[in-house]
Amino acid sequence: MIDPAHPNPIPLGSFYQLRKRMRISKIGGFQYRYRRIKEALERIVATTVKSEGAFYNKTKQEWVEDVFHLYDRVIFKGKRLPNGEIADSNYLFLSSWYLENINALYVKPIDFKYYRSLKSTIAQRLYELLGVKFYRFLWEELTCLRYRYSTLCQLLPITRQRYFSKAKEKLDPAHEELRKTDFLDKVAWEEIEGERDDWFIFYYPGPRALEEMRRYGVPEEAVLERGGRAALQAPEQGPEEIKGLVEYMVEVLGDEHSRPFYTKVARLCPSNVIYRLLSEVKDDWLQGRVRKSKGAHFTDKIKRYCQERGIDLGLKPSRADK
């Protein structure tokens, strides 16, 4: 953990030390390897991120609505530091919210030895992605994660295939490697009604994924069975958190008239579930899958969630429910 009293800069060590920690091969000569590391750091510093509720600030207990960088600055050995001294090493300045989350232990460590043991780069990326997402199981009664194939292609990233056989041909070797190493229990594909070139992929956590939760500080009672059901309840929210969540729902859904209903939802449902469903609504809207309005689309989703868990939102049953 970084000392909060002296948060920035972070000493990275020499390029040689970085190369060894990253286990970069010796192919290409040392000048080429070090230039690649330097350019990678510079690219990340130059990369701008626009977050619309996609990043969470653990310290402030709020979702980030901002434009920022992950790395604010990098100063290489021999260059001048802000205090006027000459840098005796390579130093990295993290963005404020990124550093706050690290100091608040709002992180998911990666088993680097296991990560490096994976032969497929797609398997490595899936391990990074799914390892974080499986933590949702602690607060929601889930047995698997579901991704659209098209969404997964953007996240990995890989070239999207038009045909099912080609899509499986690209992903299944990575799936099999993760299954054989016990990170995944199983993977299932499912057709999406009305869509020919997109599918749902369901990921079920294996023993290694569940063990990582225990190993990295998750209470053992939170992981009950191989399917990953959670014993913990979602934390209660205070009035300010509820108010902020309601405002966010009104803003995203553009439906001021439903504020009383959104207030009830915020009081009865876990905030992470609400944020997830809002994210799904935004994605569905961009993909042209919303038939009525964003508000109605969200209501359908939260209604199904609550019905499955016996949560009474006080809604009149629709014809489809009768």
Which pLDDT tens digit goes with each residue over 120-153? Answer: 999 999 999 998 888 766 556 667 888 999 999 9
Same domain assignment for residues 133 and 188: yes
Higher pLDDT pick, 262 / 109 = 262
Cα 246 to the center of its chain, rounded Å:
23
CA dihedral 230, 109, 154, 298 (to 10 degrees): 30
Evaluate if residue 236 carries a pLDDT over 60: no
CATH number assigned to the domain comprising residue 181 = 1.10.10
Residue 313 lies in a domain: no
Same domain assignment for residues 244 and 143: no
Give me the pLDDT at residue 229, please: 38
Same domain assignment for residues 58 and 14: yes
Print the domain residue range for 212: 112-222
Produce one character per residue of 240-273: b if its CB has 16 or more CB atoms within 10 Å, e if not: eebebbbebbbebbebeebeebbbbbbeebbbbb
| Alpha carbon distance 155, 283 (integer Å) | 14
Evaluate if residue 223 carries a pLDDT over 50: no
Residue 77 lies in a domain: yes
Last residue of a domain, one of 188, 222, 256: 222
Give me the pLDDT at residue 163, please: 94
Beta strand ranges found along 76-141 (DSSP E): 90-94
Strands 145-148 and 184-191: unpaired
Give me the pLDDT at residue 57, please: 80
Give me the pLDDT at residue 234, please: 41
Give residue-wise pLDDT tens across range 204-221.
988 898 888 666 644 444
Domains: count for the chain: 3
Give me the pLDDT at residue 73, please: 94
Residue 228 lies in a domain: no
Residue 318 lies in a domain: no
Total residue count of the chain as it appears in this document: 322
Give residue-wise pLDDT tens across range 60-112.
778 788 899 999 999 999 999 888 999 999 999 998 888 888 877 777 778 88
Same domain assignment for residues 137 and 163: yes
Q: Mean pLDDT across the stretch 301-307? A: 87
Same domain assignment for residues 40 and 142: no
Strand partners for 151: none
Which whole-number Å values give the CA distances from 322 to 46, 301, 303, 316, in the listed order? 55, 17, 14, 10
Give me the pLDDT at residue 26, please: 67
Residue 58 lies in a domain: yes
Q: Mean pLDDT across the stretch 261-279? A: 83
Other beta carbons within 10 angstroms of residue 127's beta carbon come to: 25
Confidence of residue 233 (pLDDT cuts 50, 70, 90): very low
Same domain assignment for residues 46 and 119: no
Is residue 88 exposed (0-12), middle (13-18) or buried (19+ Cβ within 10 Å)?
Answer: exposed
Same domain assignment for residues 81 and 165: no
Give me the pLDDT at residue 307, please: 84
Evaluate if residue 39 carries a pLDDT over 80: yes
Residue 216 lies in a domain: yes
The pair of three-digit structure tokens given for residue 296, joined into one six-digit string: 């109605």
Same domain assignment for residues 46 and 22: yes
Give me the pLDDT at residue 48, please: 93
Give me the pLDDT at residue 232, please: 33
Same domain assignment for residues 198 and 124: yes
* CB neighbour list of residue 141: distance below 8 Å, 6 or more residues apart: 229, 230, 309
Give residue-wise pLDDT tens across range 146-169.
899 999 999 898 999 999 999 999
Residue 51 lies in a domain: yes
Residue 230 lies in a domain: no
What are φ and ψ of residue 223, in 5° steps? Answer: -110, 105
Q: Tell whether the torsion through CA atoms of 268, 272, 278 and 283 is positive or negative.
A: negative
Same domain assignment for residues 70 and 97: yes
Evaluate if residue 54 carries a pLDDT over 80: no
Same domain assignment for residues 95 and 34: yes
What are φ and ψ of residue 80, in 5° steps? Answer: -90, 130
Same domain assignment for residues 174 and 125: yes
- What's the chain's average pLDDT? 81
Amino acid letter for position 42: E
| Alpha carbon distance 25, 23 (integer Å) | 6
